Structure 1
Amino acid sequence: MSRKPIFAPARLFPGVQRRRSLIALYAAAVFLFWAALYLYVPTLPLVARSRTDDLAFVGVILAQYGLWQALVRLPVGIVSDWSGRRKPFIIVGFGLAALGAWLMGSSADAGGLLVGRAITGLAAATWVPLVVVFNRMFPPEDAVRATALLTFVASASRMVATGANGWLNGLGGYSLAFLLAATAACIALLVVLPAHEEALAPRRPAPRGVLAIVARRDVWLPSALAGVSLYAAWATTFGFFPLLARQLGADDVTQSLLTSLNVAAGTIGNLLAATAVLRIGSKRLALLSFVLLAGSTALAVPATSLAPLYMAQALGGLASGVAAPVLMGLSIQKVAEAERATAMGAHQAIYAIGMFGGPWLSGILASAIGLQAMFAVTAAGTLMLGVLGVRLMERRQDG
């Protein structure tokens, strides 16, 4: 009895015969999905701040996005592998993205913002099956390159979405960005809905097997480093940089430009990662990204004008753009295709802890010692943990 090949993209959706059509279809859906999650992000901290005077609670609201991803992403990966299906999870995720954006845009209090942000965190957990579906369109040895391409599409979407935020706020107030985000999510759902999915053979989850994947050092160590990188990003760009920028005189358009600059630099970082990984190597690229990320955060410490924040956003975005695909690709590179959704779920659940911890702990620190002192602590911690983690990966490789 012949065995079905693992790499058979044309069989995933019989109605679409060409691999390029599959890639374009999911790239469009991914673009709309991330636009739905980021159209309101540049000024979301300001909206939260307008609903509460407590910086710690602002951090709690912002942390919901990462918290629910940390809780749900691994189970999504496990159940996706178990059922052999990816598309139902993707459709549900797009629907949740629309619901969360609508709820935040229509809410008049901090509680509604918190619930809506939690729902968008659940939506973002469907990045697990999206990444796995996209990776199936490429040979296993091209995992890093495929992930870099998908991350580039996501980054381009975030760049457009965050860049439009300030203009949208001026056009229709803060609620308009939330409404358009909900609309983008609905369109993404319609884009992917007609695609027929041929399911993989169901795999009953074995607790020991799941634990074995999560316990693999080549899975959890790159994932932990990704968590450190995202801790810094969500403590700064998507956390408390907007509040510092407002103190330094930034209006909504400037806030949008600052965030868009970070995302644009991240997009460049994605492109560089896809080619530089072949010349420099994954470990060196990861180390460079942490040095740049710590340095960018440190620039905000003595800032008395917006100029250092522009530099910080550019360097931080470049660093994050390099780190994300490299660390994500490393975490699944040696994992069998049938177990990749579980491994990707583990990777994203672990790094989502950083997305939760960044705004949460930073909000507590900012309340206790002030914004700029908090950035100093974040920079030092990012550098130390990043260097230590990369050295551990190198030591494992040498051994």
Structure 2
Amino acid sequence: MGYGTKKQQGLLLTAVVLFWFAQYVYIPFQTTYLTAREVSEAYIGGILGAYGIAQLVMRIPVGVMADSIGRHRGFILAGTIAAGLASVIRINMPGGNGFFIANLFSGFASAMWISFMVLYTGFFPAAEQQKATSRIILFNNLGILLGFISSTYLYKIFGMSFLCLLSTFSAFAGTIISLPLCDSKEKQHPAGSPLKTLKVCLNKRLILFACLALIQQGIQMSTTMSFTIQILKDLGASSILIGLSSIIYMLSAVGFSGLASFSWFSKKGPAFLIPVVFTLLAVYCFLIPTIRPVPILLFLQILPGLATGILFSYLTSEAMKGIAPGVKSTAMGFYQAVYAIGMTLVPVFTGNFVHMFSMKSAYFILAGFAFMGSMIAVCYYHMTALTSE
């Protein structure tokens, strides 16, 4: 078996940073911008939802096609091109309709993340899959972090069109860098009929960890990316402090993604780390609506960064463990489609709960979800240990 060269790995990781920068550089101010253009709140919700719905629709078909064709470079190029086209649309159609269409393109682009991950992890032997997964998620988070930093400092000066222009250039650069990518040898042969590859979606381990990722991603989108920002605004935090909260979150996500591949974390393993980090995420959801000093709230943003950097890395590698190479893209497509449900529906649930009851009660429910994830993981690894004895 031939694994990827350092040059191929470097090209792909660079493309990952550029791709996610293109996808996220405009995100922190998207809602603010659309509101200023007098787009209704209901339509803004539809615009935001278009991104998630496009991923839900596309991820499993993309995975099946990638396994059937046996190659990933074309899907990666399609993703970077679609990310660039999305921002071209935003520049030329700067209203609600343009952003709705653009977010469909962005959702299509994010569906291609399957091929980025499968190609990169395919460069490494089975024993190094956890490290490889942590590394590519680190570069994923690094691209988002750079996007957040850029938008925080540039939006007020240059406006949304400039951020979208940066997005377009970044996506174009990602496309150029992806051109020399090569599929590893074992990926050159079709995996079989689409119906056969779809059977992997019945894998119980894959389903379990996909559902745990649904909880983690749903909480992340509902809190750090949404209502935690509203809590900070209600407490009188400035736009700079709100931007800083996102930067602290992404910095910790990048840092912990790097730490996830260290030997100490490898020795502790997923049976210890997954329940512990889920519990810390529950603590975060409990504390955020109950603590008032803004500096402490900013400090607490480290906890969801821990979840994104370590928990999500381990959930992904655990979901893919034991999956045959010929159906890995379909399995990854299923996994990502399931957690995309959480990214789409959990924020809607949280918003309705906030409207009907209160922010505090909504966050307490999310804390319950996180604690439930911890208990499910504990029970799974306990039962696995018993059956292996």
TM-score over 0.5 for the pair: yes
Alignment of 1:1-399 (within 5 A): 7-9=1-3, 19-50=5-36, 51-52=38-39, 54=41, 58-197=44-183, 200-211=188-199, 213-275=200-262, 276-399=264-387
Q: CA RMSD in A?
A: 2.2
| Deviation readout 1:316-358 (Å, 9 max, x if unpaired) | 1112211111111111121122221111111111111111123
Native 8 Å contact 2:67 2:191 kept in 1: yes
Please say if residues 45 and 242 of structure 1, whose CA atoms lie closer than 8 Å, have aligned partners that are also in contact: no
Q: CA deviation at 1:112?
A: 3.2
Give CA-to-partner distance per residue, 1:53-100, whole Å, 9 cap, x none: 54x654443333333222211211110010111111111111111122
TM-score normalized by the length of structure 2: 0.91
Gaps of 5+ in 1: 1-6, 11-18
2:82 and 2:354 mapped to 1: Cα distance? 31
Identity value in percent: 24
TM-score, normalization by structure 1:
0.89
Q: Structure 1's 209 and 360: CA in aligned 2 closer, same or farther, altered over 3 A?
A: same
> C-alpha deviations, 1:80-126, integer Å up to 9, x for none?
01011111111111111112233345544434333322321111111
**Secondary structure of the corresponding residue to residue 261 of structure 1:** helix
Q: CA deviation at 1:389?
A: 4.1
Unaligned runs of 5+ in 2: none
Q: How far apart, in 2, do the equivalents of 1:66 and 1:285 lie?
A: 28
Against the structure 1 CA distance between its residues 313 and 221, is the aligned structure 2 distance closer, same or farther, given a 3 Å change threshold? Answer: same
Amino acid of the structure 2 residue aligned with 1:262 = Y
How far did residue 32 of structure 1 move?
Answer: 0.3
SS at match of 1:335: coil
75-84 vs 167-176, greater mean Cα deviation: 167-176
Q: Secondary structure at the match of 2:223?
A: helix
Aligned residues: 383
Give the drift of 1:300: 2.1
- In 2, distance between residues paired with 1:39 and 1:382? 28
Distance 1:359 1:61 in 2: 14
Q: What is the CA–CA distance in structure 2 between the aligned matches of 1:365 and 1:106, rounded to whole Å?
A: 37
